[in-house]
């Protein structure tokens, strides 16, 4: 069984129900017949804490009854009320209302009496039979609370009055006149009856219901900036002396009623409105407080402000409720299912789901697991290894993202056929792990420095120690997030693979001769031809020596390690000699190019290397200008484009040209302005046409 969990500072937070839990099935499995899941043990053993723990669209508020036997929630769409029975772990009933619920209270120990504040300015009283009574208030309500001593129901609205409805007399009393408009939250101190009213203008007003007068006003100040904010929620601690309030800019203020300055100011971190503040006094851990906005619910220490745990669903949170005396939390959120979280460090599981304590460790999600219901996800490389390419496109392999889903039983059979020794190898690895674990538990001397044991990726640890130091490397090796990278063989980094070389094309220059010889760069086509030519000459000169060496190698035994080392040294020396030869050839070619010179026009001879680019451009411009007899200017840019600038002039009138026609006297002139010449001017001139008989 798999359960989604997160851990921070060794505190595990398990998500039992909600969106994105690992026990959900794919859509193409849900559409199939439910009868096909009867043989799926993994599906049968799934955790479904409360059946139908959801709404059609979203949930608004959620509260647990004082007797810890029921949980009531409101949501939409359509506006409705759900009641869930913990003993049966199912929905007891659902009721529909005319308007959406803004806030509600449970007045009795069980679910039989409740009051609901609607968004149409109405207040509904619900009992065992359904709707009991409905009344209205002048302004749109935002929050309600109940004083058990005086039976007064306080209703905070958008106006400047706090409405009071006495449930014993059944009538409205004179409201409390507030100094400003907009009541966001109303809270009642169960110890002394003090009423805290959170306002829009960053003020909290405290009223005494016995005197029906204002006792004090608390002005909250933003020490970071002077931007305006509102007080969105507040809550009294069980002792009646500590008070907490949250603001619209994501800050939480903790006060002692005997002091005017806050004991602590905590930043939630996201800048959203604080939805709720809960004092966790009924848990195993002391001095813990929960603050919630729409993104995350954080649990931290009220003394030093250190973080303890957090719950961050994938949807926005509207409300959160804590089951007293346990480590379980319910959230109403902007999603179809409501979320359930369980933190074993805060307390045990409730009585009605005590089985969570026994299966928590088994339900913990492991990073290496890739099983989704009774299907396993495999990549294309896995398909090639298992020789299942012919099944691609069939129903056996269902394409999903960059891989495929395959039935777990089929995968086990195919893997066993592809690697018959897989079970044996896994058994040997497990035995080796247990032996290593027993060795670690042995008693060692106190003076010995115990370094973290590294099984794989030693080169990675060495690089990290050289860059960041040994202390940082030891922290990374012992960290729970990365320690499997140095213990599990599946995380072995293959430095000889093509992908690794592509990601790490350049390595350190502090290397041995052997390592340098192995990393010779790839040769170009010209260099390869030179290498072949040089190698052929060397083979011709040293053919006799190579034959003698081959004879000696045949005579020597192959198991002798010293001779193998000598052979590797000779290979390395030969490679290093090839590198030196290439360097000398490059130097010779550079010297030859430096000595090469070009001839200029006339007797001026000089090296082309001494001529600058600017001189060449100026000479080209001079030559181009000398060739032009007009005053035109030619500009060239770096792209090779040219721009010609000139002053237009009137064309000079030329005298009439006359010529002698063939067969006519010299005195007869022929005007060729209109008709043009019919023959060449000179008979000895070469014709441009291929037809030499055209002029005959």
Question: Per-residue pLDDT for 669 more than 60?
Answer: no
- Last residue of one domain, picked from the residues 336, 366, 396: 366
Say if residue 387 is in the same domain as residue 270. Answer: no
Say if residue 197 is in the same domain as residue 309. Answer: yes
- Last residue of one domain, picked from the residues 349, 366, 383: 366
Q: Distance (Å, rounded) from C-alpha 320 to C-alpha 330?
A: 6
Q: Give the SS3 label for residue 637.
A: coil
Q: Distance (Å, rounded) from C-alpha 313 to C-alpha 316?
A: 7
- How many domains is the chain built from? 2
Say if residue 280 is in the same domain as residue 142. Answer: yes
Nearest to 103 by CA among 137, 145, 131: 145
Q: Which of 64-68, 317-321, 410-414 has the lowest mean pLDDT?
A: 410-414
Say if residue 219 is in the same domain as residue 77. Answer: yes
Q: Give the SS3 label for residue 458.
A: helix
Say if residue 235 is in the same domain as residue 345. Answer: yes
- Burial track 357-384 (b if 16+ CB lie within 10 A, e otherwise): eeebeebeeeeeeeebbbbbbbeeebbe
Name every residue whose Cβ is closer than 8 Å to that of residue 500 and which is 6 or more positions away in sequence: 493, 494
Q: Per-residue pLDDT tens for 30-58?
A: 555 555 666 665 556 567 788 889 999 99
For the entire predicted model, the pTM comes to: 0.54
Backbone dihedral angles phi then psi of residue 507, each to the nearest 5 degrees: -120, 175
Is 343 part of any domain? yes
Q: Per-residue pLDDT tens for 194-246?
A: 999 999 989 999 999 999 999 999 999 876 667 789 999 999 998 889 999 99
Q: What is the 3-state secondary structure (H, E, C) of 591-633?
A: HHHHHCCEECCCCCEECHHHCCHHHHHHHHHHHHHHHCCCCCE
Q: Give the SS3 label for residue 273.
A: coil
Q: Per-residue pLDDT tens for 98-122?
A: 999 999 999 999 999 999 999 999 9
- Quick one: DSSP state of residue 365? P
| Sign, CA torsion 409/412/415/417 | negative
Q: Distance (Å, rounded) from C-alpha 386 to C-alpha 214?
A: 78
**What is the residue-wise DSSP string for 221-233?**
--SS------EEE
For residue 692, the model assigns a pLDDT of 55
Backbone dihedral angles phi then psi of residue 551, each to the nearest 5 degrees: -65, -40
Cα separation values, 380 from 161, 391, 416, Å: 67, 12, 18
Say if residue 282 is in the same domain as residue 410. Answer: no
More confident call, 309 vs 630: 309
* Strand ranges for 350-465 from DSSP E: 371-372, 375-379, 398-400, 403-407
For residue 510, the model assigns a pLDDT of 47
Q: Which of 373-387, 393-407, 613-627 has the lowest mean pLDDT?
A: 613-627
Q: Give the pairing of strands 276-280 and 130-136.
A: unpaired
CB neighbours of residue 572 within 10 Å = 16
> Which tokens belong to 568?
């590797």
For residue 672, the model assigns a pLDDT of 46
Question: Per-residue pLDDT for 412 more than 80?
Answer: yes
Q: Per-residue pLDDT tens for 485-522?
A: 888 888 888 888 888 888 877 665 444 444 444 444 45
Asked if 524 contacts 585 with a C-beta cutoff of 8 angstroms, the reply is no
Q: Which of 266-275, 402-411, 501-510 has the lowest mean pLDDT?
A: 501-510
605 band by pLDDT with thresholds 50, 70 and 90: very low
Nearest to 197 by CA among 134, 145, 249: 145
Is 99 part of any domain? yes
Say if residue 73 is in the same domain as residue 134. Answer: yes
What domain range is 394 assigned to? 375-418
> Which tokens belong to 250?
């994501």
- Helix (H) / strand (E) containing 69: none
Name every residue whose Cβ is closer than 8 Å to that of residue 532 and which is 6 or more positions away in sequence: none
Nearest to 75 by CA among 98, 59, 90, 94: 59
Is 345 part of any domain? yes
> Which tokens belong to 534?
């040089």
CB neighbours of residue 585 within 10 Å = 13
Q: Distance (Å, rounded) from C-alpha 624 to C-alpha 620?
A: 6
- Quick one: DSSP state of residue 392? B
Q: Give the SS3 label for residue 529.
A: helix
- Helix (H) / strand (E) containing 468: helix 458-468
Question: Per-residue pLDDT for 623 more than 60?
Answer: yes
Q: In CATH, what number is assigned to the domain containing residue 53?
A: 2.130.10.10
Is 110 part of any domain? yes
In the numeric block, the tokens 């022929």 are attached to: 670
Average pLDDT over residues 642-664: 62
677 band by pLDDT with thresholds 50, 70 and 90: low
Question: Per-residue pLDDT for 403 more than 60?
Answer: yes
Counting every residue, how long is the chain?
696
In the numeric block, the tokens 């064309």 are attached to: 651
For residue 42, the model assigns a pLDDT of 55
Say if residue 337 is in the same domain as residue 383. Answer: no
| Nearest-5° Cα angle at 106, 100 to 110 | 130
More confident call, 475 vs 600: 475
Q: Per-residue pLDDT tens for 135-155?
A: 999 999 999 999 999 999 999
For residue 568, the model assigns a pLDDT of 81
Q: Distance (Å, rounded) from C-alpha 33 to C-alpha 29?
A: 8
Question: Per-residue pLDDT for 171 more than 90?
Answer: yes
More confident call, 361 vs 558: 361
> Which tokens belong to 162?
């706090």
Say if residue 160 is in the same domain as residue 212. Answer: yes
> Which tokens belong to 338?
């409501």
Is 191 part of any domain? yes
Is 175 part of any domain? yes
Is 556 part of any domain? no
Say if residue 294 is in the same domain as residue 392. Answer: no
CB neighbours of residue 114 within 10 Å = 22
**Segments in 479-601 forming alpha helices (H):** 498-503, 513-518, 525-541, 543-555, 561-595
Say if residue 259 is in the same domain as residue 112. Answer: yes
Q: Distance (Å, rounded) from C-alpha 550 to C-alpha 570?
A: 13
Cα separation values, 569 from 11, 442, 565, 596, Å: 56, 43, 6, 41
Say if residue 112 is in the same domain as residue 214. Answer: yes
Asked if 274 contacts 292 with a C-beta cutoff of 8 angstroms, the reply is yes
Name every residue whose Cβ is closer than 8 Å to that of residue 547 and which is 6 or more positions away in sequence: none
For residue 625, the model assigns a pLDDT of 66
**Mean pLDDT for the chain?**
78
Is 436 part of any domain? no
Q: Please tell me which of 124-128, 360-364, 399-403, 588-592 the model is most confident about, judged by mean pLDDT.
A: 124-128
Average pLDDT over residues 640-647: 76
């Amino acid at each position: 069984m798999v359960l989604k969990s997160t851990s921070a500072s060794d505190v595990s937070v398990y998500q039992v129900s909600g969106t994105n839990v690992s026990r959900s099935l794919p859509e193409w499995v849900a559409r199939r017949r439910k009868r096909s899941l009867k043989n799926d043990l993994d599906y049968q053993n799934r955790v479904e804490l409360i059946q139908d723990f959801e709404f059609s669209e979203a949930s608004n508020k959620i509260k647990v009854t004082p007797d810890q036997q029921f949980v009531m929630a409101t949501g939409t769409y359509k506006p409705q009320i759900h009641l869930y029975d913990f003993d049966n772990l199912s929905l007891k009933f659902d009721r529909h209302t005319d308007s959406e619920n803004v806030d509600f209270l449970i007045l009795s120990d069980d679910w039989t009496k409740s009051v609901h504040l609607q968004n149409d300015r109405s207040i509904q009283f619900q009992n065992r039979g359904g709707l009991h009574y409905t009344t209205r208030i002048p302004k749109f309500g935002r929050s309600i609370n109940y004083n058990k001593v005086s039976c007064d129901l306080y209703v905070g609205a958008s106006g400047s009055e706090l409405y009071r409805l006495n449930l014993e007399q059944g009538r409205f009393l004179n409201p409390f006149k507030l100094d400003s408009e907009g009541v966001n939250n109303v809270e009642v101190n169960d110890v002394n009856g003090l009423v805290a009213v959170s306002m829009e203008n960053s003020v909290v007003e405290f009223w005494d219901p016995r005197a029906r007068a204002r006792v004090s006003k608390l002005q909250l100040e933003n020490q970071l900036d002077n931007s305006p904010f509102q007080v969105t929620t507040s809550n009294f601690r069980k002792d009646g002396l500590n008070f907490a309030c949250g603001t619209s800019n994501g800050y939480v203020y903790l006060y002692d009623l005997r002091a005017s300055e806050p004991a602590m100011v905590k930043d939630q971190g996201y800048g959203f409105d604080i939805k709720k503040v809960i004092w966790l006094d009924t848990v195993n851990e002391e001095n813990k407080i929960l603050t919630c906005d729409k993104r995350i619910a954080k649990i931290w220490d009220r003394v030093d402000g250190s973080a303890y745990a957090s719950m961050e669903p994938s949807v926005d949170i509207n409300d959160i409720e804590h089951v007293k005396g346990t480590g379980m939390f319910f959230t109403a959120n902007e999603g179809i299912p409501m979320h359930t979280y369980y933190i074993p460090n805060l307390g045990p599981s409730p009585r009605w789901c005590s089985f969570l304590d026994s299966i928590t460790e088994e339900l913990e999600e492991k990073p290496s697991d890739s099983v989704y219901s009774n299907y396993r996800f495999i990549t294309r490389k896995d398909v090639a290894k298992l020789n299942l390419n012919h099944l691609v496109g069939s129903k056996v392999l269902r394409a999903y993202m960059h891989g495929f889903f395959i039935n777990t039983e089929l995968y086990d059979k195919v893997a066993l056929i592809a690697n018959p020794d897989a079970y044996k190898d896994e058994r040997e690895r497990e035995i080796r792990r247990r032996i290593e674990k027993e060795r670690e538990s042995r008693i060692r001397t106190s003076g010995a420095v115990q370094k973290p044991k590294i099984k794989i990726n030693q080169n990675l640890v060495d690089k990290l120690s050289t860059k960041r130091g040994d202390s940082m490397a030891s922290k990374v090796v012992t960290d729970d997030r990365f320690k499997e990278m140095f213990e599990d063989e599946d995380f072995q980094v293959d430095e000889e693979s093509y992908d690794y070389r592509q990601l790490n094309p350049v390595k350190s220059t502090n290397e041995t001769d052997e390592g340098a010889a192995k990393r010779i760069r790839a040769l170009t086509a010209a260099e390869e031809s030179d290498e072949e030519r040089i190698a052929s000459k060397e083979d011709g000169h040293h053919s006799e020596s190579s034959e003698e060496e081959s004879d000696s190698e045949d005579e020597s035994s192959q198991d002798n390690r010293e001779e193998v080392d000598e052979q590797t040294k000779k290979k390395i020396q030969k490679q290093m000699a090839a590198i030196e030869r290439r360097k000398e050839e490059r130097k010779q070619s550079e010297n030859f190019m430096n000595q090469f010179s070009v001839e200029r026009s006339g007797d001026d001879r000089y090296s082309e290397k001494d001529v600058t680019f600017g001189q060449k451009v100026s000479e080209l411009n001079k030559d181009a200008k000398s060739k032009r007899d007009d005053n035109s200017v030619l500009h060239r840019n770096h792209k090779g484009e040219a721009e010609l600038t000139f002053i237009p002039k009137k064309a000079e009138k030329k005298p009439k040209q006359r010529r002698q026609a063939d067969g006519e006297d010299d005195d007869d002139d022929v005007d060729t302005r209109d008709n043009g010449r019919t023959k060449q001017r000179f008979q000895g001139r070469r014709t441009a046409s291929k037809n030499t008989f055209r002029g005959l």
